[in-house]
């Protein structure tokens, strides 16, 4: 009898290909690179971010992503070259805390 983990490994390629077929064609290469072609973390982050925004208006939504608690946030694709982390973190802090008391709003 095989363990669940061995079953997952055995079904990996067919599972990946089944999911790949459901993705919008213009974004398939990112997912394929990250999974079947094993191209590395950058492809994996891009594929995950695309999935996260459901492939809709993807570049803008990922660039403007404000989910700074996401562990992929610093590595997401489509960022503009500026200190976006600082800008978003400051915006988050302004919205969350009353600076006169340093208490959550």
> Residue 67 in contact with residue 87, Cβ under 8 Å?
no
Binding to ligand SF4 (CB under 6 A) within 25-84 occurs at 48-49, 52-53, 62, 65, 67, 70, 72-73, 76
Three-state DSSP class for 29?
Answer: helix
CB neighbours (10 Å) of residue 27?
15
**Which candidate, 29, 48, 49, places its Cα nearest to that of 39?**
29
Q: How far is the CB of 100 from ligand SF4 (least distance, A)?
A: 31
Q: Is 23 in the site for ligand SF4 (CB under 6 A)?
A: no
Separation of alpha carbons 52 and 50, rounded Å: 5
Q: How far is the CB of 67 from ligand SF4 (least distance, A)?
A: 4
Q: How far is the CB of 71 from ligand SF4 (least distance, A)?
A: 8
- Residues at the contact surface with ligand SF4, assessed by CB under 6 A: 48-49, 52-53, 62, 65, 67, 70, 72-73, 76
């Amino acid at each position: 009898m095989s363990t669940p983990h061995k079953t997952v490994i055995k079904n990996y390629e067919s599972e990946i290909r089944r999911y790949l077929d459901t993705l919008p064609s213009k974004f398939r290469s990112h997912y394929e690179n990250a999974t079947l072609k094993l191209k590395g973390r950058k492809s994996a982050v891009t594929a995950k971010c695309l999935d996260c925004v459901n492939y809709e208006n993807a570049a803008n939504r990922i660039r403007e992503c404000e989910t700074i608690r996401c562990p992929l946030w610093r590595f997401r694709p489509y960022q503009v070259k500026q200190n976006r982390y600082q800008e978003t973190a400051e915006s988050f802090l302004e919205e969350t805390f009353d600076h006169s008391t340093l208490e959550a709003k």
